[in-house]
A and B are shown apart, each in its own frame.
Chain A
Amino acid sequence: MILRFLIRIFPLVLLAGLWEIAPRLGWVNPEVLPPASAVASAWYGLLMSGDLVTNGVSSLINLSAGLALGIFVGMAAGVLMAWYPAVDALVSPLMKSLYPMPKSALIPVMILWFGLGAGSKIASIFMGCLLPVVLSSYNGARGVEQTLIWSALGLGASRRRVLWEVVVPGALPEIMAGIRNALAISFILLVSSEFLVGQRGLGYLISFLGDGGVYDAMFAAVLTVAAIGFFADRVYLFFMQRTLRWRE
């Protein structure tokens, strides 16, 4: 069990080892790539000073608020679009013209409208998460096997019941995959909006340390964000597999 885990993560260990050795042996400039051990001790320093915790909590609150809003509105919109042609006609031109728009371009306007603080970040994250969820719910609901819908209707189920008991469960794998993408995008928007403005958050911490030339601490902060994103995804994946267990 433990051996299998070690074999599994060995590529990562290999890279980490290379990362430690390369700057130490002078293969790369240690100014530009501080060795792993230096980054680890810088990380400990950040943790002890409390910078990591205060900025991390502020980032995570904004992230959850924006993401939750995006998932809720997105699922409702996507499934309804696939189910009611009128909703599709009314909403999908808007969704389709907004979907490709890089939400990062909206950050300046969100800042104008909602200020430099949490509001603009939550709004940017919401905008970014909304459309991947809409699109996956829409595609998932449309991709539900037509014979299942016909059978259910033929057996006398009402359209509403078919929607809840056939279309939504049938679309669930794709919806949940879409939410996983939204989770990734929410981190992109969180970090980039914090890069651009703000006085708190992990993105702010990274750019603050980078501007100050404290590269080992900057690497530590970057990897912290990466680790948070990674664990958020793992937890979500666990939840997703449990939810979709009935499909096997």
Chain B
Amino acid sequence: MSERSGRAGEYGLMALRVFSIAAVLGAWQITAMAHVFSDFLLPSLSEVLLRLYHDLVSGDLIRGIELTLIRTFIGFAMAAAGGVVIGVAIARIPVARWFFDPLVSVGLPMPKVAFLPIFMLWFGVFDVSKVLMIAFSAIFPVIVESWAGTQNIDKYMSWSALSLGVGPRRFLWEIALPAALPQVFTGLQVALPISLIVAIICEMQMGGQGLGGSIMTDMRFADSPGVFSGIVAIALVGMVMVKAMELVRRRLLIWHQETQAE
């Protein structure tokens, strides 16, 4: 859709990209330095970055990131593996559909976080309950997208394949799964941030350090630079995660229309 493909246009767009982030960060620093809000409500960017640097040097930051990421990824991996299998099964096997359809239709829109106190009651306040809570929260979007992706294959494509004599197994591996991949991946792209969100909520609620736990600790000590530096760290972690997912998506879907449109 880009009409301006000239070199000047490209540079202009790049400048805008850099400018938008810089403008927000600059506005933050200036607003804080002008004491529009109290320092407690809005510590300056420089103070927050200094704090981040201290935590990085002391090793606290790395340890927090490590803990949160391990929990997030174990939960996410469980959700991804289970979700794709269940989703494809629902689309292809009538019995699986009969059993899982009501569970998924009830489970997907349910605010899974509401079950947090129940998970704490059943699995304690340590890593087991956090990881299970993450997997439980993240699995539904993966199921639904894999299901929809496998179900909504272009009918002409599947008719052609079937009339050319493709067997069910080959149809699954060579038609259904590749055709469903964009949507499966959309599901994973929804599930990964949810995993991180829930990991943070669990840490805020149950403790156990990690990024969410340390924000809560800083909050209790009314240490607002600590809270903000925690948020910046979490934002960076999330950004790296999503960027990585986008790169993987572009590689996996290099043949797809959406990639070629760029």
> Which segment, of A6-14, A42-50, A70-78, faces chain B?
A6-14
Q: In the complex, which residues of chain B have a beta carbon less than 8 angstroms from the beta carbon of A239?
A: none
By secondary structure, the A interface counts as helix
Cα–Cα distance between A74 and B261 once the two chains are bound (Å): 23
Asked if residues B242 and A96 are in contact (CB atoms below 8 Å), the reply is yes
Contacts of A229 in B (CB 8 A): 109-111, 114
Those of A214-248 within 8 Å (CB) of chain B = 215, 218-219, 222, 225-226, 229-230, 232-234
Given contacts A90-B16, A232-B109, are A106 and B197 in contact (CB under 8 A)?
A: no
Does A206 reach chain B (CB closer than 8 Å)? yes
Asked if B70 is at the interface (CB within 8 A of a chain A CB), the reply is no
In the complex, the answer to whether A85 meets B4 with C-beta atoms within 8 Å is yes
Q: Which residue of B lies closest to A221 (CB)?
A: B114
List chain A residues, Cβ under 8 A from B197: 102-104, 185, 188
Of B50-58, B77-85, B165-173, B198-206, the one contacting chain A is B198-206
Q: Digitize B186-200: 1 where CB-to-A-CB distance is under 8 Å, 0 elsewhere.
A: 100010011011111
Q: What 0/1 pattern do residues 149 to 192 of A give for CB contact below 8 A with B? A: 10000000000000000000000000000001101110110111
Q: Which of A55-113 contact B (CB under 8 A)?
A: 82-83, 85-86, 88-94, 96-109, 112-113
Is B125's CB within 8 Å of the partner chain A? no
Q: Please list 22 pairs of residues, one from A and one from B, whose beta carbons are closer than 8 Å in the complex, sorted by A's number.
A: A11-B98, A11-B99, A12-B102, A88-B13, A89-B16, A89-B20, A100-B193, A100-B235, A105-B234, A112-B41, A188-B111, A188-B197, A188-B198, A191-B111, A192-B113, A192-B204, A195-B113, A202-B114, A222-B115, A229-B109, A230-B105, A233-B109
With contact pairs A94-B24, A229-B110 given, residues A181 and B190 touching in the complex (Cβ less than 8 Å): yes
Contact B109 A196 (CB under 8 A): no
Q: How far is the CA of A193 from the CA of B115 in the complex (A)?
A: 14
Residues of chain A at the chain B interface (Cβ within 8 Å): 7-12, 15, 32-33, 82-83, 85-86, 88-94, 96-109, 112-113, 132, 139, 142-143, 145-146, 149, 180-181, 183-185, 187-188, 190-192, 195-196, 202-203, 206-207, 210, 215, 218-219, 222, 225-226, 229-230, 232-234
Which of B59-67, B156-164, B209-217 sits within the interface? B209-217
Interface residues of B (CB under 8 A from A): 1-4, 9, 12-14, 16-21, 24, 40-41, 98-103, 105-106, 108-118, 120-122, 137, 141, 186, 190, 193-194, 196-201, 204-205, 211-212, 215-216, 219, 224, 227-228, 230-231, 234-235, 237-239, 241-242, 257-258, 261
User: Does B1 contact A105, Cβ atoms closer than 8 Å?
Assistant: no
Most-contacted residue by chain A among B12, B238, B241 (CB, 10 A)? B238
Beyond A89-B16, A109-B231, A207-B117, 12 extra complex contacts between A and B, CB < 8 Å: A89-B14, A90-B20, A97-B235, A100-B193, A102-B234, A105-B235, A109-B228, A142-B261, A143-B261, A187-B109, A188-B198, A188-B201
Are A113 and B200 interface neighbours, CB within 8 A? no
Closest-CB distance, A181 to chain B (whole angstroms):
6
Are A195 and B116 in contact, with the CB atoms below 8 A? Answer: yes
Q: Which of A89, A202, A215 contacts B121 (CB 8 A)?
A: A215
Q: Are A100 and B102 in contact (CB under 8 A)?
A: no
Q: Are A190 and B17 in contact (CB under 8 A)?
A: no
Q: Which of A9, A94, A203 contacts B102 (CB 8 A)?
A: A9
A57 to B102, CA, bound (A): 27
Q: Chain A's nearest CB lies how many Å from the CB of B17?
A: 5
- In the complex with contacts A9-B102, A112-B224, A195-B205 CB distance below 8 A: yes
Question: In the complex, A180 Cα to B141 Cα: how many Å?
Answer: 11
Which residues of the other chain, B, contact A89 by a CB distance below 8 angstroms?
12-14, 16-17, 20
Q: Which residue of B lies closest to A232 (CB)?
A: B109
B115 to chain A, nearest CB (A): 6
Distance of A105 Cα from B213 Cα, bound (Å): 10
With a CB–CB cut-off of 8 A, which chain B residues contact A192?
Answer: 113, 116, 201, 204-205
Bound CA–CA A192/B2 (angstroms)? 41
Pairwise interchain contact A230-B113, C-beta atoms closer than 8 A: no
Assuming the contacts A105-B212, A210-B117, A222-B115, asked whether A183 and B109 have C-beta atoms less than 8 A apart, the reply is: yes
Top 3 closest pairs, chain A to chain B, by CB: A233-B109, A100-B238, A187-B111
Whole-angstrom CA separation of A109 from B201 in the bound complex: 14
Tell me the bound Cα distance from A163 to B112 in angstroms.
37
A131 to chain B: closest residue by CB: B193
Q: What residue in chain B is nearest A99 (Cβ atoms)?
A: B242
Q: Is the CB of B20 within 8 A of A98?
A: no
Beyond A132-B190, A184-B109, is A96–B239 a contact (Cβ under 8 Å)? yes
Most buried by B among A11, A89, A91: A89
Neighbouring A residues of B216 by C-beta, 8 Å: 108
